[in-house]
Structure 1
Amino acid sequence: MNSATFQHTWDSAVRRHTDSPFLVFRAESGDVAEWTYGEFDAVVARAAGALRAAGAGPGSPVHVALRNCPAFVALWLAASRLGAWLVPVDPASSARDIAGQVRRVRPAVGVCAYAREAVYREGAGDRVPVVLALGEDAGDAAAGPLAEATPVTTAERVTADDRLAVMFTSGTTSEPKGVVLTQANYAHVAVVMAEAAQLQARHRWHVTLPLFHANAQYYCFAPAIAVGASVALSAAFSASRWVAHARELGVTHASLFAAPIRMILARTASAEQPLQLEHVWFAQSLGIEHYERFARLVGTRPRQLYGMTETVAIVSADASARPVHNVIGTPVADRRIRVTDPASGSEASPGVPGELHVCGAPGRELFAGYLDDEKTTARVFTTGPEGTWFATGDLVTRDADGVLRFTGRVDDVIKVSGENVSLTEVEAAVAQAPGVLEAAVVGVPDPVRDKVPVAYVVARDPDEPPHAEDLDAWAVRNLAPAARPRAWHVIDELPRTSVGKVRRFRVGS
């Protein structure tokens, strides 16, 4: 196995880019603070000292419930320095959620925000020996507990196989699973994603998605560190101010999901001056109208990618000269894939949806396994002569040229009178209907057609919601017969994960 570690990646970046900008943080107040690589390494040293003083060391879990802030980044890198592992969770977790998390990971140290300390302690109970409460503003990265301990300037001897994090999945179709990640996973994703985005030291990522999920860590921070680029981190996502903030912070690169993109389009003034970004990643389906509008707004054609927390680096991306709205492209970085019929296991024919499988080494190109869940890990991993194959549970189609299109989760495709209908694709289309801001589509049993799609939509203007008969007429003009929703429900909001993915299993419940 490759001996590279993420700790080496960070140490190398600090040596090579000491005086170069690393982190630019925009607080909700609008205040902006900046650190070079060398300056932030001193913040990491103090954070490592605070964790060590609290009882964390090699192999220790550190449970962190913080919003986007410099302290979060410092704790992540400090855990790496100590040989500990981070468990980043939604800072808005309820006491019940926190109780479940700490029961599963048994942390040596818990970290929360001052504002949420009472909730955190209620959930943690006596299962967390030490709780550190921190502020989430710029100055708090070097204040309070993070400023009082002796700095740790020398890293522990960590290996590629050492655990660095456990990230809980978004849970769009089921309850979250704990994804185990190693030092080698982060070192590998840093290099692969820097190459995929053609990242250089002069570039700057715009990070508005939450740090406790994979996108910000895998696709933005890790590759930036690998090449000495910088990251502009926002305390919170603002759809109406996203473009203005990107301009203010001088960013060149961005990464978003489809849902935040639709929110940005809905809340950005038509007179807003377009950006001139060099590169934008996006994930999940966008309709062509939304795609083209967003491309004009950011000044470049976004490239759709496909990846999961479990695949670590992306599996594929649209690397064509003129990217389009509805392909996830071809495999990157020599990724090996296969597309199989979910029922027979045989190779799916071109254009026919099949389950995507990805080959790689667990703990390097793929996650190491699910936390304390050998049964589920064994179900998704299959070892053969070529290596270990991971069953993603996602459906794609592959055309004759090898270009992939995302269809949805295995259980997101329904049979309507024998015809396959992708709920994900119907949602992307319905989100463009007049009067609709966003949509979720579910399959419901039908005595004649097996299953039929039913749509739940959020009105663009709550005071003038779209009428079912108008949506029916729109569907007749824009959707194939099998894909047309048989019922329409206008709701106030969709149940979402913290990164904007729809929890379809909770829609209509």
Structure 2
Amino acid sequence: MAAADLAYWPADTSHPVLELTTGDLLRLAAADAGDQTALIEVAPPDTPSLAGADRTDRQWTYGQLLADAQQCAHWLLTRFSPGERITVWAPNIPEWTILQYGAALAGLILVTANPALRTAELRYVLAQSRSAGLFHTAAFRGSDMTAIAREASAGLPDLRATVCFGDWPDTVRSHQETDALPTVRPGDAAQIQYTSGTTGFPKGALLHHRGLVTNARFMIDRTQLPRRGAVVSAMPLFHTAGCAMGVLGSAHQRASYVLCQLFDPTLVLTAAARHHADMLAGVPTMLIALLSHPDFDRFDLSRLSRVLSGGSPVPPELVRRVEERFGVRFTAVYGQTELSPVISQTSPDDAPNDKATTAGRPLPQLEVAIRDPVSGRLMPTGRVGEICARGYQTMSGYFGMPQRTAETIDADGWLRTGDLGVLDERGYLTVTGRLKDMIIRGGENIYASEIEQVLFTHPGVRDVTVLGLPDPTWGEIVAAVVVPTDADHVPTVAELRDLCREKLAPHKTPARWLTADELPLTGSGKVQKFRLRQQIDRAELPELLRDRDL
């Protein structure tokens, strides 16, 4: 077979890899756009500050953000040494971003933790990363985070300091700068990001400055965000979508990052209108909720020109709805934490069908190949296989897990994503599902995303996921879990089955149909199918009615 017929896309080397650290990026932004608004705080109305401030609508210019980050870095160095790890366990507050930049300037490694973690989960992160410090808010969404932090950190030998963000004004902000900051290099470790937990086993991806900063540059260029524009996002900062794509991507364009403390459709739409957003970012479930807002048409979104999504496959019908209702050009990213994170991305200029059905083309300086999951051989163009990638942005490894690192990155530097996909002759990548989520029914390979895309076209389906369940006859059967648009008018099995049979081969039609109020998601918006399987095993999800008359 000729090389041209194999599913391999070479790296586009026309754009250079940036030899910059996260701190370098902020210094450059402050040098040429010091008076430009860098960060805008958005919190729910009538809620107290989670960082001890006297208001929750604060703003920073790039000059002010650098000054606060440098002050933070000097304070950090009175307690920690370069190369040590500190964990941040908090929702989206401006101090999170200041700590991100401060840690980078101080040469510390920032360990990011989902604020929804409970005691045992947080303790795992602190212990596995051997963190020397923990930064947290006192409370969030009814959770006593101070009590959880105290219990989770008890007896950990590496942990020396625990800081509540509520004390920030009296500690970090009151500190005076002293010695010079250390030299930090682009290849140095910047963050440890724990994998989302779709399988329930978190691994800490060790990411370096070069990968995070350069990937954010390439992503924001592909997005075509206007220089000094405004980005509104509720994407969590503990994930690369927030702290890298959002914060660093905005810094590259000297844009204003409008940081929503949490995702609430009214809060996000109000922020987008008030701050004249040029771009809005959100996972598919967020976009669905925004489009479903009863007063959507009352918000002035006339400045909005881009909507960016990712985190999980974006159904084609949702792409069309977003472009039509928002009046924007859509761009979707596909990536993985281990790759800092974006692998491929559609362009706003792509043909409608490419934006609706593919994950775009690889970003610059990254090779992509589709390989046989068993033999490792390159697959022919247009055939399904495991997506593998190699380039500057690959993680240094899983922290403290050399065996898991070796299983993921081979001797030639190729990283196995665990995702299934197809690469066409133009370099456009289509993600068909997770290798672990591929359903094998009677020897036939079935890809859940194909079925999900069909079901998503039904107006009564707000969200849906498809998974395999054990079966003594077939090995596995196909099951669908549907979140209805209207709880009082839930689609029936007959309606959905007919839709599938019209569009798909008979063996792909789900054999079991269940319903849920919401799908369990990771912090990055991926469906936790292992939790759904647990709920199904415990008979916690009701079956859909088979017919409207029943």
TM-score by length of 1: 0.91
SS in 2 for 1:102: helix
Aligned match of 1:242 = 268
Aligned match of 1:339 = 370
- From the superposition, tell whether residues 508 and 267 of structure 1 become closer, same or farther in structure 2 (CA, over 3 Å): farther
How far has the Cα of 1:494 moved from its partner? 1.9
Aligned match of 1:321 = 350
Aligned match of 2:117 = 93
1:202 aligns with 2:202: no
Give deviations 1:414-458, integer Å, cap 9, x for gaps: 233444321123223323434332222111234554432111222
| Distance in 2 (alpha carbons) for counterparts of 1:160 and 1:427 | 41
Give deviations 1:383-412, integer Å, cap 9, x for gaps: 33xxx2111111111223332111011122
SS in 2 for 1:143: helix
Aligned match of 2:318 = 290
Is the 8 Å Cα contact of residues 454 and 500 (structure 2) preserved in structure 1?
no
1:11 aligns with 2:36: no
Give deviations 1:170-229, integer Å, cap 9, x for gaps: 111341110001222233223322322234432222121110001112212112222322
| Distance in 1 (alpha carbons) for counterparts of 2:462 and 2:350 | 30
Match of 2:361 among 320, 330, 355: 330
| Distance in 2 (alpha carbons) for counterparts of 1:272 and 1:71 | 32
Match of 2:305 among 272, 278, 281: 278
Amino acid at match of 1:339: I
How far has the Cα of 1:339 moved from its partner? 0.7
Aligned match of 1:52 = 77
Amino acid at match of 1:369: G
Is the 8 Å Cα contact of residues 39 and 258 (structure 2) preserved in structure 1?
yes
What percent identity do the matched residue pairs reach?
Answer: 27
Is the 8 Å Cα contact of residues 240 and 268 (structure 1) preserved in structure 2?
no
Is the 8 Å Cα contact of residues 45 and 152 (structure 1) preserved in structure 2?
no
Aligned match of 2:416 = 391
Match of 2:127 among 103, 123, 126: 103
1:377 aligns with 2:405: yes
Moved more, 157-166 or 457-466: 457-466
Q: More relative contact order in 1 or in 2 (CA 8 Å, sep 6+)?
A: 2
| Distance in 2 (alpha carbons) for counterparts of 1:464 and 1:153 | 65
SS in 2 for 1:402: coil
Give deviations 1:141-165, integer Å, cap 9, x for gaps: x623222222368431112232211
Amino acid at match of 1:122: E
How far has the Cα of 1:89 moved from its partner? 0.4
Aligned match of 1:118 = 147
1:145 aligns with 2:175: no
Is the 8 Å Cα contact of residues 190 and 225 (structure 1) preserved in structure 2?
no
| Distance in 2 (alpha carbons) for counterparts of 1:249 and 1:154 | 37
1:25 aligns with 2:50: no
Amino acid at match of 2:187: D
SS in 1 for 2:244: helix
- From the superposition, tell whether residues 401 and 187 of structure 1 become closer, same or farther in structure 2 (CA, over 3 Å): closer
- From the superposition, tell whether residues 483 and 244 of structure 1 become closer, same or farther in structure 2 (CA, over 3 Å): farther
| Distance in 2 (alpha carbons) for counterparts of 1:219 and 1:430 | 30
How far has the Cα of 1:3 moved from its partner? 4.5
Alignment of 1:290-439 (within 5 A): 290-319=318-347, 320-323=349-352, 324-360=355-391, 364-384=392-412, 388-439=413-464
- From the superposition, tell whether residues 465 and 415 of structure 1 become closer, same or farther in structure 2 (CA, over 3 Å): same
How far has the Cα of 1:334 moved from its partner? 3.6
1:216 aligns with 2:242: yes
How far has the Cα of 1:98 moved from its partner? 1.5
How far has the Cα of 1:268 moved from its partner? 4.5
How far has the Cα of 1:70 moved from its partner? 0.6
Give deviations 1:460-504, integer Å, cap 9, x for gaps: 333443333333233333443222111111223322112321101
How far has the Cα of 1:32 moved from its partner? 2.5
Aligned match of 2:539 = none
Alignment of 1:427-466 (within 5 A): 427-466=452-491
Aligned match of 2:548 = none
SS in 2 for 1:293: helix
Give the paired residue count.
Answer: 497
- From the superposition, tell whether residues 264 and 306 of structure 1 become closer, same or farther in structure 2 (CA, over 3 Å): same
SS in 2 for 1:147: coil
Is the 8 Å Cα contact of residues 189 and 222 (structure 1) preserved in structure 2?
no
Superposed CA RMSD in Å reads: 2.3
- From the superposition, tell whether residues 145 and 126 of structure 1 become closer, same or farther in structure 2 (CA, over 3 Å): farther
How far has the Cα of 1:241 moved from its partner? 4.3
SS in 2 for 1:495: coil
Is the 8 Å Cα contact of residues 18 and 213 (structure 2) preserved in structure 1?
no
| Distance in 2 (alpha carbons) for counterparts of 1:395 and 1:287 | 16
- From the superposition, tell whether residues 297 and 273 of structure 1 become closer, same or farther in structure 2 (CA, over 3 Å): farther
Is the 8 Å Cα contact of residues 398 and 405 (structure 2) preserved in structure 1?
yes
| Distance in 1 (alpha carbons) for counterparts of 2:514 and 2:300 | 35
Is the 8 Å Cα contact of residues 217 and 249 (structure 2) preserved in structure 1?
yes
| Distance in 1 (alpha carbons) for counterparts of 2:509 and 2:199 | 22
Give deviations 1:254-290, integer Å, cap 9, x for gaps: 2222222222223343634573422222223233332
How far has the Cα of 1:84 moved from its partner? 0.7
- From the superposition, tell whether residues 154 and 429 of structure 1 become closer, same or farther in structure 2 (CA, over 3 Å): farther
Match of 2:165 among 131, 134, 146: 134
How far has the Cα of 1:507 moved from its partner? 0.9
| Distance in 1 (alpha carbons) for counterparts of 2:342 and 2:178 | 33
- From the superposition, tell whether residues 268 and 420 of structure 1 become closer, same or farther in structure 2 (CA, over 3 Å): farther
Is the 8 Å Cα contact of residues 330 and 404 (structure 1) preserved in structure 2?
yes
| Distance in 2 (alpha carbons) for counterparts of 1:443 and 1:263 | 27
Amino acid at match of 1:39: Q
TM-score by length of 2: 0.85
Match of 1:40 among 65, 78, 87: 65
Match of 2:251 among 210, 214, 225: 225
Match of 1:165 among 172, 191, 206: 191
SS in 1 for 2:237: coil
Moved more, 285-294 or 458-467: 458-467
SS in 2 for 1:202: coil
Aligned match of 1:467 = 492
SS in 1 for 2:172: helix
Moved more, 154-163 or 119-128: 154-163
Give deviations 1:103-135, integer Å, cap 9, x for gaps: 112222211112221111111113222111113
| Distance in 1 (alpha carbons) for counterparts of 2:294 and 2:72 | 38
- From the superposition, tell whether residues 153 and 12 of structure 1 become closer, same or farther in structure 2 (CA, over 3 Å): farther
SS in 2 for 1:57: coil
